[in-house]
Structure 1
Amino acid sequence: SLLIDPKPGRPSEKNAGPNASVDGYEIIDEIKKQLEAHCPRTVSCADVITLATRDAVTLAGGLRYAVPTGRRDSLRSNPADVNLPGPTIPVTDAIHAFEAVGLNLFDMVTLVIGGHTVGEIHCSLIQDRIADPAMERSLNAKLRKQCKAPNDPSVFLDQRTPFKVDNGLCLEVLRQRGVLRIDQSLGLDGRTRGIIMSYAKDNALFRRKFAQALVKMGTRRFLSGRAGEIRKNCRVFNNGH
């Protein structure tokens, strides 16, 4: 649903605030173009995203894992449907948000930390952490300096290994060096700290559990059978509406 382009009078999930910084759509377009040339109307855009995610995780040092396919593409893309946990969400609310889609406490911690082990965030979204006196002093000073630059610059979510899918963020969180409020909260909350500690001690465990959680998340509530469609162009519905 995220891939659908908005039209005048018809917004899509791309218009939703939490999706404003998403990019890379042209990569999905190129993958889909090649797939349609070789096996038309066979691989959905939903499966393309799922497979591309697996390959991105693998290329960034994560585990290569098997991905179930067979998803169909949605016939709906409405910004009102976008309800993503924000960077300051309390742990309890995060637990409930993931439970609502069939994911448990371990899934939540693994997906949140794993999803933040690579990537950046705009300074405007971490002002609460920069103002937190508990943040490790040298990181705090570094972020304050970086965020003074104009035009709302971005900083790495994982300050240890920002381009690698590994347990580096867990190690950072245990040192009060979590850039996001939710990441740091997971390292402090009694319900989740033990999970963070276990991953910090064992990178192989983290990589394995992250792969398992991605597969589990990717099999929640997807369309199959005759539901939805297999789009020819990921940016538009087949009937254009």
Structure 2
Amino acid sequence: MADRKETKHETARNEETPRPAVFMKISMFVVVVLIAVLLSLRNPKIEAEGKNNHIPAFLQRHDPSPMENEGLSYDFYQDSCPEAEGIVRSQMKGFFSNQKGVPANLLRLFFHDCFIQGCDASVLLNSTDPNNNRSVEKQAPPNLTLKGFDRIEAIKEELEKVCPGVVSCADVLALATRDGILLTGGPFYPVFTGRKDSVESHFQEALSDIPSPNHNISQILSLFQRRGFDERDTVSLLGAHNVGRISCDFIRNRFGNFSGTGHPDNTVASDFMDELRLQCQDGHGITQVGAPTLTPAPTPTTATLIKGNSKPMMMFSEQLSVAISSGSDFDGHYYQNLLRSRGLLFADQQLMANNITASLVRTYASDDGTTFRKDFSRAMLQMSNHGVLTGNNGEVRIKCALPRSHS
């Protein structure tokens, strides 16, 4: 009996022995969770897309280290100007509450900046090249239909009050564009920061390298390919035409003697052509408010001689006139319209003239916009890191319209 009791007590002790170890494991798990929570509170900048409260899956599949190697990093201003991204976000909310078209304007401004020599805020410069021994003078930007310069300058002024000379105009434009897209119900994508500003504008390049509304599919793909964008990137980026407004001047040439044919553009559905004619019948359309990537083909009636150039450069009046809404949602309606031959621009409809791009149009048109939004996010991340200046290259401007030496 004694032996049995001893064996029973020994078994009980053996059963109790692991309990402290189990408690220790549970305690360690709790500590790890608490540390993770504290770290996430320290860097809370990532915002969820719409109803999906998580970091987009595409980001999880891509190591951000390539951006870090180029001098960009997530939350670059965490120590030097921790309020920076909050200020940009707050300013954009204020702009959007007063004018819903601001995000589309900044998106187009951002495309024009990044598409030329990279995202270096060169599009914001309003001066001649300071390195060519000419005085700094007010100069018309390559496309006077661009809007949003004043918004970026206003955000920069607020940042200068808090962190003088710290946040670049290139980063302001990149962050403001992303926040504007979110405000319109568009998808989230992370913005890595640490860009520097260019000391010169790329005026001549902007005149020749921006895709035109009248470009065919070969010309469009060629221009995007030079900058590292494949067919999928190109079709998803042109989906930015989902939002904004477009001037009648950019489509009026489709109504009659299109490309010297003596006939209207045959890629437009006849009923849609009638609708466009009706909306643009006053004949005064000039300004493109939205439609981010494309720049207008010049017309002889709007020539202006720019100082420092021997030949007239075709510019456009800034007066707002007849414009047609291209939509207000980041979904698949842009692509659904292309399937029905109802693309507002010839360049838009040209996406149906290539087997690969047409297949992508059908893919993006086939669901509620989820596939397009995912690819658009990835392409915008790629665009925002294109050709950036970092480290000792470039500068941080005080005023976005002028090089630092002239501020």
Q: TM-score, normalised by structure 1?
A: 0.90
> What's 1:127 paired with?
252
CA distance in 2, matches of 1:78, 1:134: 34
Larger gyration radius, structure 1 or structure 2: 2
Distance 1:67 1:14, change over 3 A: farther
> What's 1:92 paired with?
218
1:139 to 250, 261, 272: 272
CA distance in 1, matches of 2:334, 2:376: 13
**1:62 equivalent in alignment to 2:186:** yes
SS at match of 1:119: strand
SS at match of 2:404: coil
Cα displacement (A) at 1:164: 2.0
Cα displacement (A) at 1:60: 1.1
> What's 2:168 paired with?
44
- Unaligned regions of 5+ residues in structure 1, if any? none
- Unaligned regions of 5+ residues in structure 2, if any? 1-121, 129-133, 256-263, 286-320
SS at match of 1:23: coil
> What's 2:342 paired with?
177
CA distance in 1, matches of 2:342, 2:283: 24
CA distance in 2, matches of 1:13, 1:85: 22
> What's 1:103 paired with?
229
Partner amino acid for 1:141?
A: D
> What's 2:141 paired with?
15
Relative contact order higher in (CA < 8 Å, ≥ 6 apart): 1
**1:25 equivalent in alignment to 2:193:** no
Using the aligned pairs only, state the percent identity.
Answer: 33
Higher mean alpha-carbon deviation, 5-14 vs 57-66, is at 5-14
SS at match of 2:232: helix
SS at match of 1:139: helix
Higher mean alpha-carbon deviation, 182-191 vs 208-217, is at 182-191
CA distance in 2, matches of 1:194, 1:222: 32
Q: TM-score, normalised by structure 2?
A: 0.55
Cα displacement (A) at 1:100: 1.0
> What's 1:155 paired with?
323
> What's 1:75 paired with?
199
Instruction: Give the alignment's Cα RMSD to 1 decimal.
Output: 2.0
1:225 to 382, 387, 391: 391
